Every structure is written in C-alpha cells, then in structure tokens.
C-alpha cells in the first residue's frame, strides 16, 4: 500500500476591517510627520519674522535716537563773548550777599534824602531770591544743579603775560589734567601714531587723556589738543571726559570753568571761554596765536559721530613743588 502525502497551502482569510485599519495607519504615519514638519516650519517662519521685526525696530530706533540727539547738540555750543578777557559775573552773587553792603545794620533807620528811613535788613525777606544766585532766579529749583567747585580760581597761580610764554617744543609735556568743575582728574599721555598699512592714525586714549604730540605743550604758544573718551563700551578704554558736555551749561550760569595742566616742573591754569560742536569729518587740528588748549570728546552718546570742542586760554602758572 502506497501512501501519498498531499500538502495544501494554507489560506489566511483576513478580516476586511483589520486590513482597512492597517492601510489607514500606514497612510496616517507620513501624513502626521508632514503635519509636524509643517508646524515646525510655521513656527520657524514666525520666529524669523519676529526676529526681523525686532531687528528693524532696533535699527530704526537707533537711527531715530541719533537724529534726535544730533538735533540737541546746539545746546553744547557756547560762543565766546565779544570781550573774552572781560570778567564774568560770579555765580555766587546773591541778594543776601550784596545786602550787607547796601543795607548794613548800621544804616538801618538812617534818614533818606526824601525824609524816609532805610528799612531794617532783617525785615527784608524775598523768596526764592534771598540766597539764590541771580543767574538762577528764573529757575530757582535748579540752583543746586551746578557745583561751585570750579567757580573760584585755584589759589597760588601767578598771572601770565605774553612774555612768559614758551616757544613751541621748548617746554615739557603734560602729565596730568584736572577740571574741578566736572571732577576730571586724569593722567595725560602722548598718543602714538599707528601704521595701518594704507593709512596712519593716532591711537585712542586708553583710560587716560591723550595729547597730540605735534601740538603745543602746556605753557607754550599755540593750541594744545587733548582727547578723551565720552564712553568706550566696546573697547573698555574708560570715560574720562564723560562730563565734558556739562561745561556749556555751567558757563551759561556765569560760573568760571578752569583747566589745570601739570608738567614735571610747572602747573598751568587755563580758563574755558568757548565750546563748539563739529561733525567728525569736519574736525581739523588748528593753531592759535595765544596759548590755548582744546579738549575734545565724541558726542552724542551711543552714536559718537560729532566732536565737542572745549577751548580754554592760559591765565596762570605756578611751580610744581
């Protein structure tokens, strides 16, 4: 007897519902990935648009600030008076300071030519002008805004005449500068010339006041030029002249502003008599007949495309002990 083995293939009959679900799942997987990718692209696009808008606002705001700040630079210009040598009124002149000379206690009750009597000074009281400098009567609340540190000339200086001046290149370089009215007290250093290949320029002063060595030294005939930073947020080279823009306002109150320059043997006293503002490309180092100094810094803050020039004339000197 012969046995015959017959192998019949197995047939799997799938449920149509399961087949449809699997097919839908296979179709949903790429679709969900596409949805997620689309969402990511939308978020990325929105972020880029937002960053661009912020950048445009920042750049636009910067230029708007520069435009507004440049319009306000006229306040930093203080032209010299017709007679620059004429004495200026002292900011300390007050009614209370003058009254003892006009209405002294000994004159109280004295007869006047018209038959009346002088009033008792103690009975005269004015507000707010009693002890406020005349220059602040229009705005008495601002009377304490300006320091009187530089009002009176520093003591010990001898007057300078034209015969006491040194010829250019005959006196020592400056070693220190002081401007009491704005609290400047800094080292002075000659600026070196940097070779940039196609051009040459002076180095920038690093936490000091820089002197252009080709210009006059303190006490010499001509104009001595000194540069200092208003701010140096990127290079970190200090802000020695950050308060230099206050000088025009101080001068308008009638207060005197002095600049002291020390050399190894002598200290020289200069009095500020004018300020000016020039665009950076218009700045040229110029000379003068009398002995003067010009202090320079960049304005306005954050744009620095103009130059503030503060010019002072030599008025005194004294030996350094």
* pLDDT value of position 200: 81
For 77-91+149-319, CATH gives 2.40.260.10
Mean pLDDT of the chain: 79
Q: Which 3-state string (H, E, C) describes 12-51?
A: CCCCHHHHHHHHHHHHHHHHHHHHHHHHHHHHHHHHHHHH
- Where residue 218 falls among pLDDT bands split at 50, 70, 90? very high
In 131-283, which residue ranges form alpha helices assigned H by DSSP?
247-252
In Å, what is the CA distance from 191 to each residue of 178, 188, 201, 203? 19, 9, 10, 6
Q: What is the pLDDT of residues 272-286, one digit of tens each?
A: 999 999 999 999 999
Q: What is the pLDDT of residues 150-173, one digit of tens each?
A: 456 788 898 887 567 888 889 999
Please give the model's pTM, rounded to 2 decimal places.
Answer: 0.69
Q: Whole-angstrom Cα distance, residue 188 to residue 160?
A: 23
- Residue extents of the structural domains in the chain: 77-91+149-319
Question: Per residue in 145-156, is it b (16+ CB within 10 Å) or e — as a string?
Answer: ebebebbeeeee
**Omega before residue 128 within 30° of 0, cis:** yes
Q: What is the pLDDT of residues 65-106, one digit of tens each?
A: 777 878 889 999 999 976 554 444 444 455 555 555 444 444
* pLDDT value of position 24: 57
* pLDDT value of position 58: 84
């Amino acid at each position: 007897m012969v046995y015959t083995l017959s192998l019949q293939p197995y047939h799997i009959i799938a449920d149509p519902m399961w087949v449809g679900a699997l097919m839908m799942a296979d179709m949903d997987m790429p679709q969900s990935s596409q949805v997620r990718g689309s969402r990511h692209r939308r978020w990325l696009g929105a972020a880029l648009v937002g960053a661009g808008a912020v950048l445009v606002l920042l750049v636009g705001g910067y230029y708007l600030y520069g435009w507004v700040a440049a319009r306000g630079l006229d306040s930093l210009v203080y032209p010299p008076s017709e007679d620059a040598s004429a004495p200026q009124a002292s900011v300390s002149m007050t009614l209370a300071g003058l009254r003892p000379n006009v209405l002294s206690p000994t004159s109280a009750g004295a007869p006047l030519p018209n038959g009346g009597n002088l009033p008792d000074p103690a009975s005269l009281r004015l507000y707010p002008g009693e002890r406020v400098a005349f220059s602040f009567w229009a705005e008495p609340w601002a009377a304490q805004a300006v320091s009187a540190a530089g009002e009176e000339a520093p003591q010990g200086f001898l007057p300078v005449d034209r015969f006491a001046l040194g010829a250019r290149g005959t006196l020592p370089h400056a070693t220190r500068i002081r401007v009491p009215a704005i609290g400047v007290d800094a080292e002075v250093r000659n600026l070196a010339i940097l070779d940039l290949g196609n051009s040459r320029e002076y180095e920038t002063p690093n936490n000091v006041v820089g002197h252009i060595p080709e210009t006059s030294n303190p006490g010499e005939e001509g104009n001595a030029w000194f540069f200092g930073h208003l701010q140096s947020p990127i290079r970190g080279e200090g802000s020695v002249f950050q308060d230099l823009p206050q000088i025009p306002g101080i001068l308008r109150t009638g207060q005197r502003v002095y600049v002291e320059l020390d050399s190894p043997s002598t200290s020289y006293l200069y009095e500020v008599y004018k300020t000016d503002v020039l665009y950076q490309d218009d700045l040229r180092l110029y000379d003068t007949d009398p002995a003067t100094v010009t202090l320079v810094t960049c304005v306005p803050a954050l744009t620095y495309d103009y130059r503030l020039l503060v010019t002072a004339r030599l008025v005194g000197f004294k030996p350094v002990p």
